[in-house]
Amino acid sequence: TADRTERAGGAATHCPYCALQCAMSVTARATDAADDTEAAAAPTVAPREFPTNAGGLCQKGWTSASLLGSPARLTTPLVRNASGTLRPASWDTALDLVARRLREIRATSGPDATAVFGGGGLTNEKAYLLGKFARVALGTSQIDYNGRFCMSSAAAAGVRAFGLDRGLPFPLTDLADADAVLLVGANPAETMPPFVQHLRAARAAGGLVVIDPRRTPTAEQANLHLRPAPGTDLALALGILHAAAADGLLNRSYVDKRTIGFDEMWRTVAAWWPERVERVTGVAAADQRRVAAVLTGARNAYVLTARGTEQHADGTNTVSAWINLALALGLPGTPGSGFGCLTGQGNGQGGREHGQKADQLPGYRRIDDPAARAHVANVWGVPADSLPGPGRSAYELLDALGTATGPRALLVFGSNVVVSAPRAAHVADRLAALDLLVVADIVLSETAALADVVFPVTQWAEEDGTMTSLEGRVLLRRRAVNPPEGVRSDLDVLAGLATRLDRSATDFPTDPETVFTELRAASRGGPADYSGVSYDRLRAGEALYWPVPAEDHPGSPRMFLDRFAHPDGRARFVPVDHTGPAESPDPDFPLYATTGRVLQHYQSGAQTRNVAELVDAVPESYVEVHPDTAARAGLAEGDLARITSRRGAATARVRCVPSLRPDVVFLPFHFAGEQRANLLTNPALDPTSRMPEFKVCAVRIAQAEPK
């Protein structure tokens, strides 16, 4: 049945931030203001009734109208002049300059000397046109996006096990009937607070289990909180699976009917009995057995993972370990139970389906699949053999910039890599080595500040476009207010450049609905088939979960109930073993550092650090430290600490947290300059997903300023 999108006054749209995509109304002018003051002209937001947020918004959503009309907005293109200063320029001047430099670089160094970096917050239309721009207008294989830092391990593990990756293969509201939910490396009480209401039943039944090295606000609500050492989640999954098997709790008939590969997988698990796992993880064997009992004693149970599971050098295997547990208990594809990953970025799901990923074409197709290449090339009106092959993954692309064999020009859309990429100081150095850096953004982000050319672009409630939420539901964001004068859509930027690079304007439309119509054709027949989704159906309020292969198809809210997406319909167990983090504490760097988000800020902070209420609440970075660890370093609450890893040093205010493991410090990654947590992080990459190991590195901590 359709969920009707109610208009509660103002334009019905969705939040500019995370993948929950809470429904809200944006009103361009306050209804009770009759004068012409700034307050009267300010847009307002209000939550709308919608299944996922059920009338709720978090602080970020409530304050999101501040982004519209923010004094920090860019309203004119900027071009760096001969003395190195960014100066205002006309759109034609900026577009002409970029197109000319791209031509020159391509002529002297080949198409792969030009590169594109996208973002998981871009609408589906922008993500799609960006991929087409790279492969058709630039002819480059060098395109990837910041979702590589976010969901790539879950995506790879999902494809391996189920034959298809959709973060939640069931509507989020199904969780409301669960009496057991295991959350691994997920902190929705801070990252997407309205999500937590769907965990009420599990909590009331005593079945809410949280696995996290920190006692997060989510862990505070759990019936059972397990605190493994960072980088040992995989071993913990093996221990819980071992405990379930030893206690005769596996679902043997499900394993026999719906999966293959159990015996091979078990050969590794057999060696990880709970007491051995306790020595590696620090989680008591009895607690491992309790988790197995909670999950198998429940009528309906779910296992959900997030960044804490994925952002490791063995992130794909770690997610696979949790999927193996879920499969052995018979959860995925069973009505009322399941396995899922909580996507983080606003369009983290759709952003990985439409071709801005180095190894993929629209429709979630593999770029090395000849049939996929032929289909997409036909939609694009180009020869299939003209499409480039797979390019470098996000960090590898950034690492290669300005090197002898790497790109000389980079175009960045919707990403702030000098804050959000690992080994951030090195990334800034690589950007500085480019011949041309172009950034399209709404504000002068830390990355835009380094650019040769900056394009000011529209955002969120200033434009139409579609997003795909964490449950695979396609949503329409509607234009509610006019963009500031001088600002254009990213679609206009791509079209402006493509036409200057001899592509026709009809091949690079600027109307979002027209782009979406082409996206539908390009996705037809692919794993993420949007061909039956239309703006008209979305405007009518239909709840369309992909795949939607025809205009009269109702969509696919619950996947895998009859069969998984592998050709034989069965899910795969994947044998995985514990290897541990790429970097462990040693005498020079005796602590684990882990990174994450706080309630009031989003991703690199480029948006939320420009919202006064959010800055007032959390104005600067901090480091959580156990009081004993702080005392040993001569630090007290509120002191400025210097945290140092093998890659650099960051500063942050000390917060003493008695519930933290004494061997762990935690830093949020939203802050700029010397406060960047990613000055510390390790770019060790997962061999399958190419995800960097954001969640664990070795550090030491000391006073940053003499007392």
Q: By CB under 6 A, name the binding residues for ligand SF4.
A: 15, 17-18, 20-22, 53, 57-58, 60-61, 192-194
The smaller minimum CB distance to ligand SF4, of residues 193 and 465, is found at: 193
Sign, CA dihedral 516-518-519-525, equals: positive
- Decide if 89 contacts 461 (C-beta within 8 A): no
> In the bound complex, what is the minimum distance in angstroms from residue 12's beta carbon to ligand SF4?
14
Q: Which is nearer to ligand SF4, 6 or 588 (CB)?
A: 6
Contact of 188 with 198, CB cutoff 8 Å: no
Beta-bridge partners for 592: 664, 698
What sections of 110-166 are H helices per DSSP? 124-132, 152-162
| Least gap, CB of 217 to ligand SF4 (angstroms) | 13
| ∠ CA 503-120-477, rounded to 5° | 85
In the complex, what is the shortest distance from the CB of residue 193 to ligand SF4, in angstroms, rounded to a whole number?
6
Interatomic CA distance for residues 678 and 596, integer angstroms? 11
Beta bridge partners of 361: 365
User: Could you tell me the smallest distance in angstroms from the CB atom of residue 64 to ligand SF4?
Assistant: 7
Please state the closest distance from residue 604 (CB atom) to ligand SF4, in A. 15
Close Cβ partners of 368 (under 8 Å, ≥ 6 residues apart) = 359, 389, 390
Q: Which is nearer to ligand SF4, 22 or 494 (CB)?
A: 22
Nearer to ligand SF4 (CB atom), residue 173 or residue 268: 173
What are the Cα distances from residue 222, in Å, to 199, 207, 225, 671?
10, 8, 6, 29
Please name the residues in contact with 569: beta carbons below 8 A apart, sequence gap of 6 or more.
562, 563
Q: How far is the CB of 510 from ligand SF4 (least distance, A)?
A: 27
Closest by CA to 21, choosing from 11, 13, 12, is: 13
For residue 133, give both structure tokens.
Answer: 């721009």
- Whichever of 56 and 692 has its CB closer to ligand SF4, that residue is 56
SS3 track for 173-213: HHHHHCCEEEEECCCHHHHCHHHHHHHHHHHHCCCEEEECC
The full length of the chain comes to 707
> Is residue 90 helix, strand or coil?
coil
Q: Please identify, using beta-carbon distances, which residue of 118 and 344 lies nearer to ligand SF4.
A: 344
Measured from the CB atom, the residue of 17 and 262 that comes closer to ligand SF4 is 17
Both tokens of 471, joined, read: 């449950």
Nearer to ligand SF4 (CB atom), residue 17 or residue 592: 17
Least separation, in Å, of the C-beta of 15 and ligand SF4? 3
Q: State which residue, 53 or 594, has the beta carbon closest to ligand SF4.
A: 53
Name which of 53 and 531 has its Cβ closer to ligand SF4: 53
CA–CA gap between residue 221 and residue 448 (Å, rounded): 40
For ligand SF4, the nearest residue by Cβ is 61
Min. distance of Cβ 57 from ligand SF4 in angstroms?
4
CB of 51 to ligand SF4, least distance (A): 13
Distance of CA 659 to CAs 214, 401, 484, 502, 624, Å?
7, 42, 47, 60, 10
Q: Nearest CA to 350 among 464, 195, 476, 469?
A: 469
Smallest separation, CB 311 to ligand SF4 (Å): 19
We find the least distance from the C-beta atom of residue 59 to ligand SF4, in angstroms, to be 7
Residue 155 CB, nearest distance to ligand SF4 (Å)?
Answer: 20
What is the rounded CA–CA span in Å between residue 664 and residue 593? Answer: 6
- The nearer residue to ligand SF4, 229 or 341, going by C-beta atoms, is 341
Is the CB of 193 or the CB of 351 nearer to ligand SF4? 193
Q: 404: how many CB neighbours lie within 10 A of its CB?
A: 5
